[in-house]
Structure 1
Amino acid sequence: MAMYRAGDWNDLDQIKVLGVQRELTDWYGKNHRKLPWRETSDPYYIWVSEVMLQQTRVDTVIPYFLNFIEKFPTMEDLAQAHEEEVLKAWEGLGYYSRVRNLQRGAKVVVEQYGGQVPKDLQEIKKIPGIGPYTAGAVLSIAYDQAVPAVDGNVMRVFSRLFCIEDDISEGKTRSEMEKIGRVVVPRENPSSFNQGLMELGALICTPTSPKCIACPVYGQCCAAQRGIQNELPIKKKKQAAKEVQLEVALVWNDDKVLIMKRPGDGLLASLWAFPSAVREEGWEPGSNIIAVLKEEYGIIVDDINYVFDAQHVFTHLKWNMEVYDCKLSSTVELDYPQIQWVTLDEIGNYAIPTAFMKVLRKIDGG
């Protein structure tokens, strides 16, 4: 079975393409999972679901999606909501820039497009947070347009289906995959075809041990016929996550603990967290966080005691957190809304990132 190279996509075997279109669409119609965002053609709901599904498992997304739509049932509701409320609804999903861009995009749609997600490809890509994949997903699923939606699952399927040996972590390879999509996405029922590609990658054409016998396009698959399905796709190994030693302070004032709102940009921007500081080389354990509390916030603590460790791994970063119990000694009076004293019961009203929720659960003994 022939391998294909960049630039050959318009020359794809049309019999093969028609077979893939027919078999995949039929398979999706009979076998797709029943998911809440598949019960609607509302472009807003589909947009929300696609943003949530980026880097997050379907089972995890379902309750978040239902809760988010309940809180913000329309584009206007999301656009007008306070950022703190939106971040709280997203709490635990991680990658908070996704929801910030989603809200920014909703405001643009409301202000510039009358609350209606544009049906034109070039227009929809002008909206903050909507790239080629999300644009293709919304246009094909909500508006039934023959536009490709190429994510990691789809690139894996295409790599095996057409024996593509280019590194899928490279931008130029994604561009080539999008060209394939423009050739193979049918004009008739592109919604089911695109969702079928996504579902195939999620359930059958998995990263390891693909279930080839159950694959509806097995007979069309170049990699399966050549026995190299486990060797594709080609993807360079990720760099090991950089490890950072972080000191975290639980500063107590009677039954209340100190939380601080993180800066508006950078990692975990605008979320609430316990005070923390990166340990400088050569400093005694706990001394960095003591210095930060005093110099940046005028808070002096004593009786600092190590209590436990916690870890959290981001995409390219690993936090090794040393958590210290700190008794408040004195503090200057600061009119600073980014600092709050809260009880453990009240802390649930604030958007706390997963890294610090791990600390909170250990405090509660969970």
Structure 2
Amino acid sequence: MSHIEKFHGIGIVDPTDWKHPKRVTFDPKPYGDYDIDVEIEACGVCGSDIHCASGDWGKVPKNLVVGHEIIGRVVSLGPKCHTGLKIGDRVGVGAQVYSCLECDRCESGNEPYCPKFVTTYSQAYEDGYISQGGYSDHIRVHEHFVIPIPKEIPSHLAAPLLCGGITVFSPLLRNGCGPGKKVGIVGIGGIGHMGLIFANAMGADVYAISRSYAKKEDATKMGAHHFIATKEEPDWGTKYFDTFDLIVVCSSSLTEVDFDIMPKVMKVGGHIVSIAAPSLSEKLTLKPLGLMGVSISNSALGSPAELKILLDMVANENLKIWVETLKIGESGVHEAFERMEKGDVKYRFTFIDYDKEF
């Protein structure tokens, strides 16, 4: 089967002027027996894109193309592909494109924690090729990380589920979110708003936790049954003592999260799980004696198996996340970067109109 020799995207040509990306042409990774080429039709914008493009997470690779919430159509299949995908199938690719698939972690459904994990953009494969993401016309990826998209979910709503959605869904699923559980979502932004929608759909008693009351009305529409404004309720640690089974921290930064107060609101055996991936300069400070009976951890992406569970739930429950669409291209990516940096989005962006740009 023939495959595409050159890909085209919107990349970071000058890291000192990262908010003005340019159109670039680049070589795809070498074609492997289990690889699939996907022609992209939509891609969500994740906070990770901003962190990486701006250099928050280190040196920006040359002509880097970000984006890891990808929806598209299969246009090429490697000779040993065996997952049942066919040419023309609508599929998704999230924030992981490779793992060894042989270690205990991979075989137990923990591929995101594999030592050979390769993220969708900015990371080197074992052969040295630097992965390139979804602000481009195509992506080439191992079939294990190519996920069928249910027909009930429109592409612009499916895209943000591939990273942001699964990143908050995984700790909800793994920590027993459901009927009879009191679950808090901290940070009502691009990922946190999905956490409210999912936790409500899973049957939990859902608390939105934010600094102010500014997003209370939105949070209620998303499925929150209660709202806590931590800056306006200074006694919230006392008021909600021994309340929560699970809190998922979805803030983009952890510096304003008070991890000395938060353990007080947890039940014994409760879990505080952060999905934040802030700047490398941030450090977490807390008093260890306050952790008695409470666990604090950090969660990575969800696995392909968990992503399929999420997509089925969204399709079956007709869940609608809050998305604004932008046209892919130099000006569209610039607008997304500018507005994301300012927090001017309710609550997620998805790039569309790929056929008109590439």
Instruction: State if a TM-score over 0.5 links the two structures.
Output: no
Relative to its length, the structure with more helix (as a share) is 1
Structure whose residues are more often strand by fraction: 2
State the TM-score, normalized to the length of structure 2.
0.23
Structure with higher Rg: it is 1
Please give the TM-score of this superposition, normalised by the length of structure 1.
0.22
